[in-house]
Structure 1
Amino acid sequence: MSFRATVLTLYPDMFPGTLGQALAGRALSQGTWDLQTVQIRDYATDRHRSVDDTPAGGGAGMVMRADVLAAALDANAGPDDPRPRLLMSPRGKPLTQKRVRALAEGPGVVIVCGRFEGVDQRVIDGRDLEEVSIGDYVLSGGEVAAQVVLDAVIRLLPGVMGNAESGETESFEDGLLEHPHYTRPAEWEGRTIPEVLTSGNHAKIGKWRRERAEELTRERRPDLLAPRKDDEGA
């Protein structure tokens, strides 16, 4: 059974977007995964097809209505649907490779693309939406973020990458950034490939790669080396 992705959005024409190209696009055409887009506005009940309203308590912007979004969810991912439900949100828990791999091992995912100032909290609570963020910045909507999540997940599905080992040695898989890479020509603009990589000694190569990965992580992402609460069971 293929991995099923359902995306609820006000802009379904933005999909598959980048997901229709390269690895993800090939996997989509081969049936490795399936994409369903849902126009949230189709579940509005007034003649204007309204999906948002002014925020309770006042303030700028508009808020996506709970009743309309809930109706869209219920019609396309009912209570018996085993797939996790993600809401792309800048206040969500940061997406990690660990979460991506867990999603790839499941039956699929339901993704809600937020817009406006946010989504009514009642539908987040009432429909068990897991808020997920792809970074500490704000986008105009959740569609691009949803494509990021799906791209990260789809490439880990069985058969999508030609070499399964590629996905096991990348950044974040073992808590470190990935080591530097080199290829031909052996010399370029006076810069040469590190001698150990052409030595044929796989033990030394593995040691060098590990040391460079640790060095890069210390320099660029020391936060990855700090103990995490989820890893400690807290």
Structure 2
Amino acid sequence: MKIDVLTLFPEMFEGVFGSSILKKAKEEGHVSYQAVDFREYTTNKHKKVDDYPYGGGAGMVLSPQPIFDAVDDLKQQNDTSPRVIMLCPQGERYTQAKAEELAKEEHLILLCGHYEGYDERVRKHLVTDEISIGDYVLTGGELGAMVIADSVTRLLPNVLGNEESAVTDSFSTGLLEHPQYTRPAEFRGMEVPDVLLSGHHANIERWRKKESLKRTLERRPDLLEERELTVEEERLLEEIKREQ
């Protein structure tokens, strides 16, 4: 996969793309990243990429020309039909399902806005997706682009050491992940649940599924409302409610 980021602040991505799983994925050839300063594409002699909004109002609006030209150039460089993703508060709220969808693509271009947003012609005629990482406002789209790059990269084949890691993460199954424990079995009087030490795989799997449902019920009941439960999950959920 290739991930290109169009931003006015490419230096913000040096630490993100050069660390941890993202760095390893790049070194192993699973993905390539590029943070592109779209100011370099402006035809304005003063290197301006924004202007006052027609009709008046506060703030500045990003001009269409440098963004269109930058995307055209990236398409020609890679000979692809990329997903062009606009990071903006008006976009659909980002989810694990969306990350899994984007992880199947060959090429992503992430647009990071600033000021009062984009000229509407960018939104209408250039982008394929509009994404928001939450119901709040940030200074620009860079942090959202980092979130998308990280969440997508870890889903690519062979990126994580254990392929089951991404499958069992919170939200990947529609539920929150069950509690995890490691050595020692007893620490400061706090003990690991006996079932996890039993070696009985069926009982361990049942415990994990029940704890996952319990945690989801307590912390994100809205996820259960959206999920079509299996017969076993319904039975476990009733058991949880009786115990409570």
TM-score by length of 1: 0.91
Structure 1 gaps of 5+ residues are 229-234
Deviation (angstroms), 1:40 = 0.9
Contact 2:17 2:33 in 1 (8 A): no
Residue by residue, what CA displacement relative to the aligned partner does 1:147-203 show, whole Å, maximum 9, x if unpaired?
A: 111111111111111110111111011100000111111112221111111111111
Structure number with the higher helix fraction is 2
Q: Where do residues 7-26 of structure 1 align in structure 2 (5 Å cutoff)?
A: 7-26=5-24
Amino acid at match of 2:209: R
How far apart are 1:128 and its partner, in Å? Answer: 2.9
User: Which residue is equivalent to 2:178?
Assistant: 179
Q: Distance in 2 between matches of 1:67 and 1:203?
A: 60
1:118 aligns with 2:122: no
For the aligned residues, what is the CA RMSD? 1.7
CA distance in 1, matches of 2:138, 2:161: 33
Bigger drift between 144-153 and 73-82 goes to 73-82
State the one-letter code of the partner of 1:49.
K
Q: Is the 8 Å Cα contact of residues 5 and 111 (structure 2) preserved in structure 1?
A: yes
Whole-Å Cα distance in 2 between the matches of residues 67 and 47 of structure 1? 13
Taking the TM superposition and a 5 Å limit, the aligned residue runs for 1:95-114 are 95-114=94-113
CA, structure 1 residues 6+186, in 2 after alignment: closer, same or farther (shift >3 Å)?
Answer: same
Aligned pairs, number: 226
For residue 217 of structure 1, what is the amino acid of its counterpart?
T
Residue 63 of structure 2 is matched in structure 1 by: 65
Cα distance in 2 for residues equivalent to 1:38 and 1:129: 19
Q: Is the 8 A contact 1:67 1:123 kept in 2?
A: no
Per-residue deviation at 1:80?
A: 6.3
What does residue 231 of structure 1 align with?
Answer: none
- The percent identity for this pair of structures is 46
Instruction: Report deviation, 1:108.
Output: 2.3
Which secondary structure does the structure 2 equivalent of 1:181 belong to?
Answer: coil
CA distance, structure 1, for counterparts of residue 45 and residue 5 of structure 2: 24
Q: Secondary structure at the match of 1:88?
A: strand
For residues 20-59 of structure 1, the aligned pairs below 5 Å read 20-59=18-57
CA distance in 2, matches of 1:17, 1:143: 13
Judge conservation of contact 2:99–2:148 (CA < 8 Å) in 1: yes
Deviation at 1:15, TM superposition (A): 2.0
List per-residue Cα deviations over 1:123-146 (Å, max 9, x = no partner): 111113411011122111111111
State the secondary structure of the residue aligned to 1:147: helix
Change in 2 beyond 3 A, CA 1:80/1:126: farther
Amino acid paired to 1:209 = R
Distance 2:95 2:132 in 1: 10
Q: Deviations over 1:103-133 (max 9, x none)?
A: 1122121111111111111111111341101
Q: How does 1:55-204 map to 2 (within 5 A)?
A: 55-77=53-75, 81-204=80-203
> 1:77, 1:110 within 8 Å by CA — same for their partners in 2?
no
Aligned partner letter, 1:74: D
- Measured in 2, the distance between the counterparts of 1:58 and 1:188 equals 64
Matched residue of 2:226: which SS? coil
What is the one-letter code of the residue matched to 2:66?
A: V
